[in-house]
Chains A and B, each alone.
Chain A
Amino acid sequence: MLMPLDMLRAGEWAEVEEVTGQPAWVGRLAELGIRNGARVQVVQPGSPCLLSVAGCKLCLRGGECAQILVRPVPGASA
């Protein structure tokens, strides 16, 4: 099931399926590791939210999180 990243709750893991929006923004996110197939964990939901990506913490705004479609991975870890 696909859902926007901002729907995830604290501690949940997901796999990035699609990143939409301005090409510059998609490119920047890819540089930071948020790209198709990447595993992300929501550390703190809300706006801005905290994500854990490849062992790094990133902070994004809610509206921007909604542009990232993910597939939740139950009970996973990195």
Chain B
Amino acid sequence: MTTSVALVGNPNAGKSTLFNALSGLRQRVGNYPGVTVELKKGRCTAHGTEFELIDLPGTYSLAARSPDEMVAVDLLLGRRPEEPKPAVIVSVVDATNLDRHLYLTSQLLELGVPVVVAVNMIDAATAQGLNVDAAKLSQQLGAPVVPIQANAGVGLETLMSAVRAAAGTAPPTGPAFPEAFDAVAAQFQKELSDELPPVLARRALIDVGGYVEAWLVERHGNRFKALLAGARDRLAAAGHAVPGVEARARFAWVKAAVSAAVTRPAERPVTRTDRTDAVLTHKVWGTLVFLAVMFLMFQSIFLWAKPLMDLIGGAQDALAGAVEGALANGPLRALLADGVIKGVGGVLVFLPQILILFAFIAVLEDCGYMARAAFLMDRVMSKCGLSGKSFIPLLSSVACAIPGIMAARVIENRRDRLATILVAPLMSCSARLPVYVLLIGAFVARPGAPAWLPGVVLFGMYMIGFVVAPLVALVLKRTLLRGEPPVFVMELPAYRRPKLGAVLRRMFDAGWAFVLRAGTIIFAAMVLVWALLYFPYTDAAGESYPVRIEAAEDAAKEQAPRLKELKAKEQPTDAEKTELEALEAAAALPDKLNGEWKRQSALGRAGLWMEPAFNPLGWDWKIGVAALASFPAREVIVGTFGLLYDSGDVDPKSIGDDTADEDAKEKAAGFVAALRDDWAKDPVRSKYGVPVALSIMVFFALCCQCASTLAVIRRETNSWRWPLFTFVYMTALAYLGAFATFQIGALIVG
């Protein structure tokens, strides 16, 4: 027999700390259809009783304004089909700020469920000279009160025994409202003749424009609107206009309880938080510290993640090599080596960045700095209709949109959060860099071009993201995500020392969520594109391409020493010259065959068929196929280009990387030359090489060519609608952008 216990409290009350301290590693994340909130569930055993704990999202009151906020209310009332009604509610409050936190407690006392009040951070209260008399407070509230210190594990035993004792007892009543209010509320409930809990009927009455009201209007239509207006008019006539009546009644009750049970020093001492804030929220010093913190965060993501990512890439290559050595040539081997292993590697490669970013976010949030950063950045972000909390998610997206989108969890306002998630993929992520470097190297940095030009073009590509993302956010907030401007009011919590355990847990949760739920989709997309480029794998004569390529490779390998020898000769004879040519052709044969194969694959044919759509962008079908193939992951374009231009499989990492090994560099250089040669033969691309290259770059800057991003958006928004929307709007934007770039560029050149 387990006792279900719900933990409820204001943000910063230390609710999650208590939850972690109680349940340890016995946790899981509950998922609820239709909402973006995550509810954590855990188990703990104390005094021989098994407790099932639910950690509800932090909230200041039960006045729900969105479906997300309503989940908590419904759950506490036992109205969610997934969960039973909790046997006990633990109301977690901050001992240093009882005036505020007991407001929510007063609402919890009315839910018809026994409540235990956990007064947390009792040590901090003592340090400030506050003295909380638990017995007196309990008497005032009509519910058991247990002082605790969740971060040190103090008082938890007592708390759980109070919870066990409270289970099954008569529920408390909470503060009294004016009689006239109760009368109107009772009449309203009767007129409504709905099987609604009285608590919800009162919420509908009090919360003007709240979620319960909207939900009942949808359910009962105009009849309900008339009833509600009548009841509110009667309340106003009686001098108890909503919503003020609730705050007055509750705060009067809270004030009485606090003044009876809490003694405080005459003068509020200047705390360390006050002194720290004098610097950290200062316009100049605070901003400097903020920039330094951001720089450190970025530098760490780039520097620390790279070796780990290389390690994952190396392991992936080694594993693929082992599979290729162990299995016979054929679709199965290719599926394992190029589909499955690359697919898994493509998922895992994001993990280092996600873990590092979340370590930073956890530390910054737990110590209380995140709210200060949001405060500092709010002025800038409010210009594009977002709040300061969107800054870190958007900035992180410059490294990679995946962790950036996951970081948007810190934004409570649903519309702000969605807008941030939807524009985050527009920021120029690090996977776009190889594409930019390749094309700039091939077409912009030509002999004779000014030395500053490549840098300016690269800078311009990054600026596209920085400019377009806020603009799109602004448009979204004015159209699709329009609504009342969010109530921007944010609490700056007291500074606290972050706990290693909590930080590790955040990292683990983020990584696990990504691998488990986004990883499967990314993996599927990678395998799909592999298959589209693999099948059909026989040529016109019915011979298998992979077999032919392997034979050609073996032959080339055998002849390599002779080729080297001939190449080294200063004055070869005519016979040797012919031999050299034949050998060189044989050496190039595998890449040529590979190109032929990819061109007649399912994706290659689709590209050929779609060529008319690519023409206005200045593209031929090869560029089109490369762009199509890179929809699951944009860095793939470099490799696909390589295949299509008969240069073999070029490693995107070797492009523009001076530390790459000689072989890879030579291959990359050969590829750039092949790309230039091919374009020189074509009437459009020989004349308009630069506009075409720019048009490709703009397309990549704006397009959502990243299955991982879409998978993460799907996971974070819990719906297919938003990833679909992101994909469509970004593709349209990219097409238009590339179109405009090429047409304008062609005008200037032509």
Give the interface of A toward B (CB within 8 A).
22-33, 35-36, 43-44, 46-48, 50, 54-61, 64, 77-78
Contact = CB atoms under 8 A, between A and B. Distances in A.
Contact of A55 (B63, B103, B247, B268): B268
Nearest to A50: B281
Contacts, number: 108
A31 B375 contact: no
A28 B60 contact: yes
A57 B491 contact: yes
Contacts of A32: 60, 100, 489, 491
Contact of B484 (A24, A47, A64): A24
Given A60-B489, A77-B267, A27 B378 contact: no
Contact of B243 (A27, A43, A50, A60): A27
Nearest to A53: B100
Given A44-B281, A48-B378, A50-B281, A28 B209 contact: no
Contacts of B375: 48, 50, 59
Interface of B: 60-61, 63, 65, 96-97, 99-100, 103-104, 206-210, 242-244, 246-248, 251, 267-268, 273, 277, 281, 283, 371, 374-375, 378-379, 382, 388, 484, 487-492
Contact of A31 (B61, B242, B273, B492): B61
Nearest to A78: B268
Given A50-B492, A54-B99, A30 B247 contact: yes
A24 B210 contact: yes
Contacts of A44: 281
B209 A31 contact: no
| Residue of A36, A57, A78 with most chain B CB atoms under a 10 A cut-off | A57
Given A50-B281, A59-B490, A24 B65 contact: yes
Given A22-B209, A35-B251, 13 more contacts: A24-B208, A24-B487, A26-B243, A27-B206, A30-B243, A31-B61, A35-B247, A50-B281, A54-B100, A55-B268, A56-B100, A58-B491, A61-B378
10 contacts: A22-B484, A24-B63, A24-B65, A28-B60, A31-B100, A35-B247, A35-B248, A61-B382, A64-B488, A77-B267
A45 to B, nearest CB: 11
Contacts of B210: 24
| Residue of A26, A44, A56, A78 with most chain B CB atoms under a 10 A cut-off | A56
Given A25-B487, A58-B490, A33 B99 contact: yes
A59 B267 contact: no
B354 to A, nearest CB: 29
B215 to A, nearest CB: 15
B488 A60 contact: yes
B489 A29 contact: yes
Contacts of A57: 273, 277, 491-492
A73 to B, nearest CB: 15
B247 A27 contact: yes
A59 B489 contact: yes
A34 B408 CA distance: 28
Nearest to B490: A59
B60 A31 contact: yes
A43 to B, nearest CB: 8
A-B complex: 9 closest residue pairs judged by Cβ atoms: A23-B208, A30-B247, A57-B492, A27-B243, A31-B60, A59-B490, A31-B61, A48-B378, A59-B375
A19 B462 CA distance: 44
